[in-house]
Amino acid sequence: LEVDGDSVTVVKSERKSWTAAFAEALKQVISEDQRVHALTSAMPDGTGLAKVREVYPENVLDCGIAEGCTVDIAAGMAKSGLRPLVCVYSTFLQRAFDHIFQEVALQGLPVGFCLDRAGLVGGDGAVHHGYLDIAYLRAFQNMVLMAPADEPELLAALRLGQQLEQPYTIRYPRDSVPDPYGEAPPFHVGKSRTMREGVDATLLAYGATVQSALEAAQTLEAEGIDVCVVNARFAKPIDEDMLTTAITRGTPVLTIEDHSVAGGFGSAVLETANRLGLPTDGIIRLGLAENRFYRHGSRAWQLAEAGIDAAGIALAVRRAVKAAREALSNGEPAPRERSST
């Protein structure tokens, strides 16, 4: 907002939003496979489908303010051989929990869920924060959870989804997309992408938090702290080979997510490590506090409040590395916190 006396003007960002990037990627996917249909619940503008509908009117369906019905229709489409995508805000998908279970997961149908406004939403207010989707969706059998780090990865995630014969979810925030991190390697289920090598700590960043993780790593490099940054890509399944390497390295491992720390990506990492017989005491989870709401404000302010902007991540790494180095010099295990709240 630009304020001039008693006049307030909305100034649009020159950078492309994730919503606009999704619309472009979806048009590309539909051009490659006419079986792809996108459904929404009275939010064609907020999800970007209005732009898609201009080009492919027969492939977009607005089901009205009825998320459960939208999921049911998508399930029927999948049953008939189409490749439907349910495109809604993360927080609104909560209304369709039972429909996802009975009509999609239980039937093992390849319905995709594309979740805009996943994470903190800034000016949209607390009711729109999408901070629960990872926690409840990963409990559904055979559900694949993905989060791209940039625009090329968004297209790559959609393309993988069209190849799956099971339900899947792609989440992305109410924000601008970062500049591309080079050419995106294809998505493969349960495989991460290492963005930067380092030996002093490992950041496992999920989705859009990759940008802040890389910025934090650059800041820390100037301080003599060499950080590895991994773009996790998947919250279900977790990349087991990557996680084994990160933990057995013996240096701090920090998970980063724009989601509640309760049941989210970090929890999935802990559970995977436990199942693999790997130590979990050195894993630090950064994310949204499980027992507080984030009040109205800019998304940047909210990310800082949650400690998952670049400055917050860098601070957490400094503390973890300092504790690890002091413990090493004393010949003792490093005391580490389990989560950031």
The CATH architecture annotation of domain 193-330 reads 3-Layer(aba) Sandwich (3.40)
Q: Which two tokens stand for residue 78?
A: 């999948």
pLDDT for 246-286, tens place per residue? 999 999 999 999 999 999 999 999 999 999 999 999 899 99
Nearest in space to 83 (alpha carbons), one of 39, 144, 18:
39
Q: Is 65 left (phi over 0), alpha (psi -120 to 50) or beta?
A: beta
- Residues contacting 236, CB < 8 A, separation 6+: 137, 138, 143, 144, 145, 268
Q: What letters, b where the CB count within 10 A reaches 16 and e where it falls short, cover 122-146?
A: bebeeebbbbbbbbebbebeebbbb
CATH for 11-171 is 3.40.50.970
pLDDT for 136-184, tens place per residue? 999 999 999 999 999 999 999 999 999 999 999 999 999 999 999 999 9
Look up the pTM and report it. Answer: 0.93
Quote the CA–CA distance of 115 and 172 in Å, as a whole number.
6
Do 207 and 234 touch, CB atoms closer than 8 A?
Answer: no
Residue 329: which pLDDT band, with cuts at 50, 70 and 90?
Answer: confident
Quote the CA–CA distance of 198 and 245 in Å, as a whole number.
12
Domains 11-171 and 193-330 share a fold: yes
Transcribe 327-339 into DSSP letters: HHHHTSPPP--SB
The domain limits of the chain are 11-171, 193-330
